[in-house]
Structure 1
């Protein structure tokens, strides 16, 4: 979401997200994979040993909305960083429109909704063409508010965000995020609910030790199933990433959407694997995993993160829009708008059913012996993406350094 101020800092506050989708149309392939990976590495450097979760597509959509109002160097930096320079000017808006439309339809097993809204300062004249294009490409709703009433505005926007994300994202903004000089707040929300094509059976879930990269262990709920998935073993050709690592792709219902899990060997820290992750490698994984029977041990996990994107976007080359030299004059007639802050909040929950929902847990003995099929034991940190398999759009990207921890006094632990 973007919050724009005039003269004083213009806030680009959350790109709000949560989601992935189903049922892609026959549209051009997403071209923002390089941007997605570069943004991940920026967050990785700043993230220490924390979990990471963000939505590259949602960031691209939010930046696309800013691009509609940008000119000059501000426009050039966004196009360059998102990888749109090879496209004719303006084509990227149709691309983003098609990518979001392709995954926005309700499906029997999967729901994804993109919701965009503009909150404009009362009495300020915005360029009618800018508002028209926002509606055309992003179906953005437009509402007028009085930003000097900061508490009321924060409550109104937070309520809108909560409704769009089925209460998963709450209290995104506070009164301190607005002032009498705020002129525009742009919010981009994405919500996903889906089911695995091959669901895990709740009775096969049990507590299990998860080994963190610092050598400590935590107790978590480990799901188990044996099923047909896309699987491959890859090597970086050296010892940089610990040699061979595993890639597992698990489709959601409809098979247009999937979660891809990249798992280093047990003794190899995820930090050793992360440097080799590049956009061409994502394509290599997707093209070379083969459908076969696999034993899968995957922790239930819930990842929620609010990320300050400003420094990361600046590190990627989007700098001008955050300075007083910003040219966002396609939004209004003046050049006194600039962005001071960029924040994204994302939520992802992975359970036996799929992307959302709580289930009971039971017991089953887990073993590493007598393995008849490839075995993916995600009992240590792993990298993941949730992508559209037909368009290559990456809706989620992140890593799990610590899954949902089960304490001895938790109900799930006691039931086991």
Structure 2
């Protein structure tokens, strides 16, 4: 979800909601923002050494696209450059984003993706009619007028809008402190995703399991298990930078247009050793070279949620002008001194036996087997993941699991094992 506030000190709040469970359309364009997605991941990684990460590259691209509609000059060019649109004819990126979102939310899909955009405008302020027209055309944005001086009421109104469009997974995104008498515009972009695995895990196969963190400690979690047909491959960068051979598992959702890709280093190799090799071309290499075969999969239930202040991150990537007094957002309104004061993203992803959403047995599974007939993916240590559209390459979610949901011995879930 994206919130953009335009004022004398312009305030932009950029938030994103995400859940996991798959898209279909003819002539779907190819997403060109993979490089931006990976650069953003590495920037977030640098900020939290041992933290889980979850964000939506596609939602951020949509949010910045909405800002771009109102930008000119250096403000416009920086956004195009960082998102990878600079090789396109000016304006083509808006049709690209429109077509990508339309394809993902097609009624024929066997998963649920909802994109919702809204503009909250300061009452009494005149905005460029062409800007509002294009916002409706490309992003189907609703337009509402509010009084930002009533900051508590506005925060409550926008938070309710967000909850309603994210199945209540994203709550209390904003507070009264996020608005002031100089706020002129808040732009909100919300995305909701729910999908079911093509091959679901059987809940009776889920066990308590030890998950080894990269700091050497262990936690107890709930580990799902199944043997099924998935896309699988083993890769190496030809050096020891990534710790040698690592595994890539792609698990489709119903319909097979959407999938979760899990990248797992060897048990003794920290994820930090693998992460430096992650680049946009490598994402495509993984997707093109995994092969369908029978695989034994051990995957923890996990839920990751994160609120990120994106302002400094986007500045590090090269989007700087819109956050300064030199910003040119004159395509939105004739008002002067408009700039982005804040950018925030909030994301949520939960993965269970049924699938992923922004939604038992007893004993322990043995870590060793006397005979392994099929490749075995044992995600009992940190891993990288993406949820992507297999046709367009659009990355709906990207992140890593450093610590899954921890089950304490006195928890009800633990006692039921």
**Bin for the TM-score computed over the shorter chain:** over 0.9
The answer to whether the 8 A contact 1:18-1:55 is kept is: no
Residues 410 and 22 (structure 1), Cα distance of their counterparts in 2 relative to 1, 3 Å cut: farther
Superposition RMSD on alpha carbons, in Å? 1.7
Residues 234 and 4 (structure 1), Cα distance of their counterparts in 2 relative to 1, 3 Å cut: closer
In 1, the alpha carbon distance for the partners of 2:157 and 2:301 equals 33
Residues 312 and 245 (structure 1), Cα distance of their counterparts in 2 relative to 1, 3 Å cut: same
In 1, the alpha carbon distance for the partners of 2:392 and 2:197 equals 19
User: Aligned-pair distance for 1:108?
Assistant: 6.7
The answer to whether the 8 A contact 1:14-1:345 is kept is: yes
User: Aligned-pair distance for 1:5?
Assistant: 5.0
User: Aligned-pair distance for 1:36?
Assistant: 0.3
User: Aligned-pair distance for 1:409?
Assistant: 1.3
User: Aligned-pair distance for 1:148?
Assistant: 0.4
In 2, the alpha carbon distance for the partners of 1:360 and 1:330 equals 59
User: Aligned-pair distance for 1:265?
Assistant: 0.4
Residues 4 and 193 (structure 1), Cα distance of their counterparts in 2 relative to 1, 3 Å cut: closer
The answer to whether the 8 A contact 1:204-1:363 is kept is: no
In 2, the alpha carbon distance for the partners of 1:87 and 1:20 equals 32
**Does 2:339 match 1:334?**
no
Residues 170 and 218 (structure 1), Cα distance of their counterparts in 2 relative to 1, 3 Å cut: same
Residues 25 and 336 (structure 1), Cα distance of their counterparts in 2 relative to 1, 3 Å cut: farther
Residue deviations 1:55-82, cap 9 Å, x none? Answer: 0000000000000000000000000000
Residues 123 and 362 (structure 1), Cα distance of their counterparts in 2 relative to 1, 3 Å cut: farther
The answer to whether the 8 A contact 1:361-1:412 is kept is: no
User: Aligned-pair distance for 1:414?
Assistant: 0.5
User: Aligned-pair distance for 1:335?
Assistant: 3.3
**Does 2:354 match 1:353?**
yes
Aligned counterpart, 1:38: 39
User: Aligned-pair distance for 1:12?
Assistant: 3.0
The answer to whether the 8 A contact 2:265-2:383 is kept is: yes
User: Aligned-pair distance for 1:2?
Assistant: 4.9
In 2, the alpha carbon distance for the partners of 1:201 and 1:308 equals 38
Residues 112 and 387 (structure 1), Cα distance of their counterparts in 2 relative to 1, 3 Å cut: same
User: Aligned-pair distance for 1:211?
Assistant: 0.1
Unpaired stretches in structure 1, ≥5 consecutive residues: none
Unpaired stretches in structure 2, ≥5 consecutive residues: none
The answer to whether the 8 A contact 2:384-2:401 is kept is: yes
Aligned counterpart, 2:112: 111
Residues 154 and 338 (structure 1), Cα distance of their counterparts in 2 relative to 1, 3 Å cut: same
User: Aligned-pair distance for 1:26?
Assistant: 2.4
Calculate the TM-score normalised by the size of structure 1. Answer: 0.96
**Does 2:65 match 1:64?**
yes
The answer to whether the 8 A contact 2:205-2:225 is kept is: yes
Calculate the TM-score normalised by the size of structure 2. Answer: 0.96
Other structure's SS at 2:184 match: strand
Residue deviations 1:262-301, cap 9 Å, x none? Answer: 0000000000000000000000000000000000000000
User: Aligned-pair distance for 1:334?
Assistant: 2.8
In 1, the alpha carbon distance for the partners of 2:405 and 2:353 equals 14
